[in-house]
Amino acid sequence: MSAVTLFFISSGIFLGWSLGANHAVNVFGTAVMSKMVRYRVAAVVAGIFVILGAVFGGAGTTRTINQLGAVNAMAGSFTVSLAVGIAVAWMTKLKLPVSTSQAIVGGVIGWNLFTGSPTDGEAIMKILGTWVTSPLLAAAFAFVLFKAIEWLVKRARVHMLEVDAYTRTGLLVVGALASYTLGANNIANVMGLFVSATPFNDIAVGSVLTFTGTQQLFLIGGVAIAVGIFTYGQHVMVTVGSDLYRITPLSGFVVVLAESIVLFLFSSVWLEGLLRSMHLPTLPLVPLSSTQAVIGAVVGVGLAKHGRGINLQVLGKIAAGWVIAPIAAFLMAFVMLFFVQNVFEQPVIADSQYNVTASVLTAVAAEGVNVDEVRPLIGKNFSSATQLRNTLEGLDRFTKAEVSVFLQLAKIDSLVVDTVGIASVAGDQALGPAQVRALKRMHGKVFLHPCDMEFAFSAAVIRTDSSSSTLWERLSPEQRIALTDAFRVRSSIVPKM
């Protein structure tokens, strides 16, 4: 790793450290504060499993962050990540369990606004929805689990010493599980900003295993989180594990188990594929606020005890931190990007080319935009988003939202369908036989825009007795993103058609 590369990803390392320091409470806070597990033991277990989760389970949620805004220059990734890290570290200093997921959204939107890049409305609504559902789900799981375990303990008539021994073991097990899911779900917040501009090449281990550049980033981020847990995580534990609600060992077990379940539901690619294969509804793969989940679980346990002991004043203080964090990250990112670009003269966005084709206009029209006046632009190239934006705004008929649709769909994002990508996406995304056959027929084809691949993939139609639908329509939003990622050309050079 070169010194320049290390410098640029240092902000991601700092953010990982901040996340680990702030989120240690979410995996072992209740165990440590109830004095069932020593902090050093908890930190070691958490560190090991958070790294495993980051490397082997972090791909799904990272796609959503990149869908919200793909920061495609190392200087831009460095700046946004540093801004978010400072915001999280500041909240940690105030002993508030802040939401890193919310802070990262604020930072990415700051980059989008500064660079003039469009913000994907679908992605942001997906993320905002989880800010409401995750604490509610955690509270519901914690309420039911606490009632069930309380009932079992009373019926089993186990000696108090045995209960303590079982609880201590249970706290270690669910702490390890929570650490794994924390790494899998939140590594997108730490290193997701660097994926679009990753400085690492894939490393092949024999002919069987490939350690991708993204996994190398995730390993570095996972280690940073582990170090944050070990060195500074004990400080935030006081707020949640003591001030908000007096945690008993049994309550601590329930809280961490409920949090782990919620994080797993929103980060497991395997579970998503299983539910889809059974034609059941799936949950979006989104980097959640583990802090919100654990607070929801703590409140759920408190409600199971008829609301006794919940400190509403502290809860309000924590909620205020959730609001302040994304705003602070947004403002810091915007101001710092200005200085990095104009004072230090570092490019915070990579030059992107735009090309208007008939398929692009078809895709734009499908979004409800009237494209009649821009048909003369078919075949024209634009060297920057600003050039295309100025051309569209010069027509004086498009809203800012409609211009953003044009920018998103006309951006050259080259895709090449190859054997490796087909094998990868077919296995990971549980594609049906017809979908795999359609991809194999497209082998070797090059597309300038993702919508071009969508139209080619949609050419194959599945007909049933009651309706007909294209293979593309049968894909979930997550599968569509995965297809684009699998075949994207990781180079600034555009393949020739």
Query: What tens digit of pLDDT does each residue of 133-176 get?
Result: 999 999 999 999 999 988 888 888 777 778 788 888 999 999 99
Q: Are 305 and 147 in contact (CB under 8 A)?
A: no
Q: What is the pLDDT of residue 494?
A: 35
Copy the structure tokens of residue 98: 């802040």
Q: Are 239 and 396 in contact (CB under 8 A)?
A: no
DSSP 411: B
Query: What tens digit of pLDDT does each residue of 421-467 get?
Result: 787 777 666 677 888 888 888 888 889 998 888 888 877 666 554 55
How does 218-249 read in b/e, with b if 16+ C-beta sit within 10 Å? bbbbbbbbbbbbbebbbebbebbbebbbebeb
- Reduced to 3 states (helix: H, G, I; strand: E, B; else coil), residue 446 is strand
Copy the structure tokens of residue 77: 């990734």
Q: What is the pLDDT of residue 362?
A: 92
Q: Which residues contact 120 (CB under 8 A, 6 or more apart)?
A: 67, 68, 69, 408
| Of the candidates 280, 273, 289, 210, the residue with the CA atom closest to the CA atom of residue 431 | 273
Rg of the chain taking only CA atoms, in angstroms: 24
Q: Which residues contact 464 (CB under 8 A, 6 or more apart)?
A: none
Q: Which spans in 246-345 are helix H? A: 249-265, 269-277, 290-304, 312-342
Domain ranges of the chain: 3-342, 354-410, 415-487
Q: What is the pLDDT of residue 397?
A: 83
Q: Are 35 and 168 in contact (CB under 8 A)?
A: no
- Reduced to 3 states (helix: H, G, I; strand: E, B; else coil), residue 461 is strand
Q: What is the pLDDT of residue 468?
A: 58
Q: pLDDT per position in the chain (497 positions), as tens?
A: 667 778 888 988 998 998 898 888 788 887 887 788 888 899 999 999 999 999 888 876 777 777 787 787 888 989 999 998 888 888 777 777 677 888 889 999 999 899 877 787 777 888 888 888 999 999 999 999 999 988 888 888 777 778 788 888 999 999 999 999 999 988 988 888 887 666 777 776 665 666 777 888 899 999 999 999 988 887 766 555 555 556 678 888 898 999 999 999 988 877 877 787 787 888 888 888 887 888 888 889 888 887 665 667 777 777 787 788 889 999 999 999 999 999 988 888 877 789 999 999 999 999 889 999 899 999 999 988 888 888 998 888 888 888 888 988 998 888 888 877 787 777 666 677 888 888 888 888 889 998 888 888 877 666 554 555 667 777 777 678 778 877 877 543 333 33
